[in-house]
Amino acid sequence: MKRLKRLVTFVSALGVLTASIPFATMAATVKTITSVTINVGLEEISNGDTLPSETSFSTTSESGNYVYTNNNRYEVSDLDWITSDSKEMKIGSEPKMKVTLHATDADEYAFKGGYQSSNITIKGGTYVSSNRSGTDTLYVTFTFKPIKGTYDSPEDADWKDSGFGNARWSEPDNGSGAYDVYLYRGSSLIKKVEKLKATSYNFYPYMTKAGTYSFKVRTVPYSSTEDKYGKNSDWTESGEVYVPQEKVSDGSGQDSGTASTGAVGWIKNGNSWSYRYPDGTYLKNNWSKINNIWYLFDGNGVMLTGWQQKGDKTYYFNSDGAMLTGWYKSDNKWYYLNPSTTNGVEGALITGWISYNNKWYYADSKGVMQEGWKQIDGNWFYFYPGEGSKAVNTNISGFAIDGEGIWRK
């Protein structure tokens, strides 16, 4: 009887072992998706247009607006604009979108724990970040190619009623805020003013001979990004004004790389820019919000660019002087500049913990976004390389991370 029991026990154990073999074999056949390629494209969007709805996109082929993959291991399951689809696009704008990828067979394919720009290719756009949900879902954020287009022409080009030579025009709805303005006497070109950041200019110092004068003005790119993607508008021509001999200028106030005495608004002095009020004074050592963009000027009235310290806060200004907000990449490092107008100081460099799109990030004392394993206040956290968000409720290389993102021994 004992021998019979042993035999039954042995057969049962053998059955359990045999039954487990197929499952072990199945687990071993799950293949890791080590790289991802996504094809993206937008139909032509003009300056001032809004973005198309997500439902207009093809997720299976290159047709019209599209986001799709050519891979049998994963497929596009959802699309979401991060850039507001009600926002008017400007030349140089880079619309941002998040795409959800699903493994076509979760029993056969799995996304790995972290991806970098070297693992994800966006054909027709630029990779921004990615994060995984489980092993069968991957979220990828990217930007489409910058919007190209032609600027609208200035409106209402005319001469001011008082005096001679005061040219003025109106800013178009979809412009850059910069203009080329040419002065003519008859058909002769007298003076060129290029990339002027103002909507008026005093040409009187150049009206040194009697005759009939006119000017023409066009909108032009200003920043390096606008130069790359924007095209000059058509010219807008003014009416004529006659200057008699007794009213001609003696030439005083003509510029040699400096602004003429009558110019207001943005003034270029050599390689720098200043902002002049109608009373002749300049913005100095202060902030100013011009056309809904923040600028900072030093004690000499020069517009500042690059990294700047103001009080105990640090800010970053583009080459055109515009203060940046949100994420900014410099020297292959990511920084976060406060976009909020109600919480903290707008535009100020953030250090410490950052909450963004329902995820947590961490910037060191210099404002640099952290990646990989980092010890903060005595606890160890993991931040996905390339993307920077804190890992939670997951396992990184065998180390369990809890819901607060902390690795606990």
CB atoms within 10 A of CB 326: 11
Give the residue with greater pLDDT, 73 vs 9. Answer: 73
Domain boundaries, the chain: 31-144, 149-243, 283-407
Is 3's pLDDT higher than 60?
no
Tell me the mean pLDDT in the region 110-126.
Answer: 91
Q: What is the pLDDT of residue 268?
A: 78
Region of poorest pLDDT, from 123-127, 221-225, 253-257: 253-257
**Per-residue confidence at 23, pLDDT binned at 50, 70, 90?**
very low
Is 395's pLDDT higher than 70?
yes
Q: Retrieve residue 98's tokens.
A: 């998040």
- 304-327 pLDDT, tens per residue? 999 999 989 999 999 889 999 999
Is 255's pLDDT higher than 80?
no
Q: What is the pLDDT of residue 8?
A: 43
- 334-362 pLDDT, tens per residue? 999 999 878 889 999 999 999 998 999 99
Please give the class, per CATH, of domain 283-407.
Answer: mainly beta
- 44-60 pLDDT, tens per residue? 888 788 999 999 999 99
CB atoms within 10 A of CB 94: 17
Is 256's pLDDT higher than 70?
no
CATH of domain 149-243: 2.60.40.10
Q: What is the pLDDT of residue 340?
A: 84
Tell me the mean pLDDT in the region 115-140.
Answer: 92
* Alpha carbons 299 and 229: distance in angstroms, whole number: 34
- Average pLDDT score, the chain: 87
- 263-307 pLDDT, tens per residue? 678 887 777 888 888 777 889 999 998 878 899 999 999 999 999
Residue 187 φ then ψ, to 5°: -100, 5
Is 401's pLDDT higher than 90?
yes
In sequence order, what are the beta bridge partners of 120? 36
Tell me the mean pLDDT in the region 107-133.
Answer: 91
Task: Please count the CA atoms within 13 angstroms of the CA of 148 that sit on its side-chain side.
Answer: 7
Residues 6 or more apart from 276 whose CB is under 8 A from it?
Answer: 259, 263, 264, 265, 267, 282, 283
- The answer to whether the 149-243 and 283-407 domains have the same CATH topology is no
Q: Whole-prediction pTM value?
A: 0.53
Is 258's pLDDT higher than 90?
no
